[in-house]
Chains A and B, each alone.
Chain A
Amino acid sequence: MLAYLLLLVPLPPLGGFLLLALDPYRLDRRPVLALSLAAGIAPLVLFLPLAIAYFTGAVGDMIAPAFTLNFGQYEVALAMQLDPLSAIGASTVTVVASCVMIYAADYMSGARVADLRRFFALMNLFQAGMLSMVLAADSIVFFLGWELMGLCSFFLISYNMTSPRAFAAGQKAFVMTRIADAALLAGLLLLFLEATSVRMDELIPAGLAAEESRAAIIAVLLLVGALGKSAQLPFQTWLPTAMAGPTPVSALLHSATMVAAGAVLLARFAPLIEATPGVAAATAIAGVATALFGALCAIAQTDVKRLLAYSSISQIGYMLLAVGMGAPGVAMAHFVIHAFFKSLLFMAAGVLSHAGGGSTAIEKLRGTAYVAPISFATYTVGAAALAGFPILSAGWWSKEAILGAAVEAGPFGQFLWLVALGGAALTGVYAYRPVLCALRKPLHDAPKGHESWLAVAPLIFLAIMSVLGGYLVEPIIHEMGGHAPHAGLGIEVMGALAAITGLIGSVAVTFIPSWNARIKRARRLRAGMQMDAIYYAFLVRPYRRIVRLLSGRDGRLGKHIGEGPEAQEGGMGDPVGTATVVFGLWLARVVTAPFMPDRFDTVIMRGAREAQRAGLWTRRLQSGRLRDYALGFALGLGVLVILGWGMTWG
């Protein structure tokens, strides 16, 4: 019976969304806030007792079936489950999402009521999507939640509808994740064909039992899905531009949901990844490469939100490294810790940038430490966790576990460990930059600002979690069935040294003018190695050219389908759909043209016309005049006489 409580967990946010989005009545500011907050926090209230009972061992693994359908040998059984992964994931999501919702209630207070309502409706839907994905016991609910998040992220990133940049950013996020989602869907469907069931507990054994080549294909497809959602190389370009969304959106998107969903996916299907060593190695390499790449790009950023975006890319790279090293438990531990400190960093950065005059540029944060001291303090705690400040911060424990797992995985792992260690040092460099900048004396005295408790309370809570979360790392790893890596004192000291080096580097970069200027000049790195531009040149532009060729201005289809609004905007349409139409038109031309006009039909129609004309002509005989008829009689008689005469000739 208790299991059915699981089904209720994603329902309050979903209900909140339905009410806010579809309720035809005007709601005032307060009801909107109250409704969305209640809907946002209800999952926490529902799930927390369950999670505590589960972690203390009072209840075991549970499955709550929601709907079952049988097609011959195939079974489609929708359900929610409580297992170590879903319990850890859902607790993190509910806690972080509640914090973000409370913060958002304050942060968004300046918005118009209609915008506010749209914003919170989507935030609630987003939460529902992530919760159903984390708790899903089958691939269908999992994918549904996954896609729901993709959709909501599009709407939330382009929340500011008057800004073309925000809209383009949303579009980019949507398209980039969609490419990866196609791979994920293919992977899940292949797994379904192997298992003839959609349940996770049957999918994974079936995937392990599958033939080697097929198992490899499935693993690769799942990996690509995770790379896209988590903005890993080569899909990372959508995440930095996604900063066009409001700060609470970033806080939710980057911490426990959306971006982290890829890590959850890989942790969920970790046995399949581990079963094919090549894919596991690819996961680790993609992770560590992204970690290094994200850290390098983050150093060059001048905008605090973009800096944090690259840090998310980088941190999730570490999670992938852990999964690739065969330690999904470690990845989940980092997922939890990262969710805490990353949402904290975003929200604190939001408060600080408000205090600094509304701009998110790091330069503009100067002196905000004195304007908003509480937020600054929490930001510092978050930055320390991000940089893995030794012993004191939670990030240190989870990152050490990842590095330890890499060292334990043999020579290949030790090479990756070295790269990851470099990434960790770079993380320190960029993590403290906004902190140090905020600490500098303000250029002109600003009055001490007022920090709303609604905004600061979640920050304080998350800051505490970012410190004490270190105690969670080992239990989480054990819960996930792994063992905490003990890599030896030397390795740990190396990690600590890397973190300290990072701090020193950060100080150097901030206070040595020539180094600071060098960062300002690193345009290429700031633009994420200009991969956006490369994608645009080599993928988007040729694609558009094909589209234009197929649907566009040269008039090949102008008559038939090019007259819609798309044509007026420059002839952009769907090339695949257009190709089928072009083919259909060609086929029609080739097959039916010889029969146009139809000869038989023409003959028949001519006969009909002639008959009509004959009728008209005959009608003239019937003049109604007596004399004509008399003449007719006489002629007829004459004919008869001649006939009779001729017949008597013998």
Chain B
Amino acid sequence: MTALNILLVLSAGLFLAGLFGVAARRTLLMQLISLEVMLAGPALGFIAAGAHHGSIEGSAMFILVLGLAAAEVALGLAIYLHMRRATGGDSDAATRLRG
């Protein structure tokens, strides 16, 4: 088993762990955190692949993912705050599209 393979398995594990968190948790905040874990998995994969091939694209993609994560957290926290006031932060309570 090469180092790359270990890292790729780790990244897949991170993604799946995050996915489990998103799917299993009802608390919106914990789902946001799980989402961050999910993002970390592919990000790790990009870096590992970039390092393996000696290419800069992997790190570039990580920067993009980092930017995406930052934007997601900004929006997500805003939505979380709003929903926390409305429903108490339970994502299952917000089943309707409007409000």
Contacts and interface: CB of A to CB of B under 8 A. Distances in A.
Contacts of B95: 623-625
Which are the 10 A-B pairs with shortest beta-carbon distances?
A624-B95, A626-B91, A630-B22, A631-B23, A627-B23, A634-B19, A625-B92, A630-B23, A625-B95, A624-B96
A630 B28 CA distance: 13
Interface string A606-650: 000000000000000001111100110010000000000000000
Contacts of B97: 624
Interface of A: 623-627, 630-631, 634
Contacts of A627: 22-26, 31, 91-92
B63 interface: no
B94 interface: yes
16 contacts: A624-B94, A624-B96, A625-B92, A625-B95, A626-B31, A626-B91, A626-B92, A626-B94, A627-B22, A627-B24, A627-B25, A627-B31, A630-B19, A630-B22, A631-B23, A634-B23
B69 to A, nearest CB: 17
Given A625-B95, A627-B23, A627-B24, 10 more contacts: A624-B94, A624-B96, A625-B91, A626-B31, A626-B94, A627-B31, A630-B19, A630-B23, A631-B23, A634-B19
Interface in B24-65: 24-26, 31
A625 B26 CA distance: 10
Contacts of B23: 627, 630-631, 634
Nearest to B22: A630
Interface of B: 19, 22-26, 31, 91-92, 94-97
Contacts of B31: 626-627
The winner among A623, A626, A631 for most chain B CB atoms within 10 A is: A626
A626 B35 CA distance: 12
Contacts of A625: 91-92, 95
Nearest to B95: A624
Nearest to B91: A626
A630 B32 CA distance: 12
Contacts of A623: 95
A440 B60 CA distance: 151
Contacts of B26: 627
B3 to A, nearest CB: 22
Contacts of B24: 627
B86 to A, nearest CB: 14
A368 B26 CA distance: 122
B62 to A, nearest CB: 20
A375 B95 CA distance: 111
The winner among A623, A630, A631 for most chain B CB atoms within 10 A is: A630
A625 B90 CA distance: 10
Nearest to B35: A630
A303 to B, nearest CB: 99
Contacts of B25: 627
A625 B95 CA distance: 5
A282 B23 CA distance: 112
Nearest to A624: B95
Contacts of B22: 627, 630
A496 B75 CA distance: 140
Nearest to B97: A624
A60 B29 CA distance: 125
A631 B31 CA distance: 13
The winner among B23, B94, B95, B97 for most chain A CB atoms within 10 A is: B23
Contacts of A634: 19, 23
A175 to B, nearest CB: 81
A634 B19 CA distance: 8
A156 B91 CA distance: 95
Nearest to B26: A627
A290 B92 CA distance: 108
Nearest to A623: B95
A630 B92 CA distance: 12
A623 B23 CA distance: 14
Nearest to A631: B23
A609 B24 CA distance: 36
A630 B38 CA distance: 12
B27 to A, nearest CB: 11
Contacts of A624: 94-97
Contacts of A631: 23
Nearest to B93: A625
A630 B23 CA distance: 6
A623 B95 CA distance: 7
A625 B94 CA distance: 7
A596 B22 CA distance: 57
Nearest to B16: A634
Nearest to A627: B23
Nearest to B25: A627
Contacts of A626: 31, 91-92, 94
The winner among B31, B92, B94 for most chain A CB atoms within 10 A is: B92
A516 to B, nearest CB: 113
A355 B23 CA distance: 118
Contacts of B91: 625-627
Nearest to B20: A634
B22 to A, nearest CB: 5
A109 to B, nearest CB: 93
B8 to A, nearest CB: 13
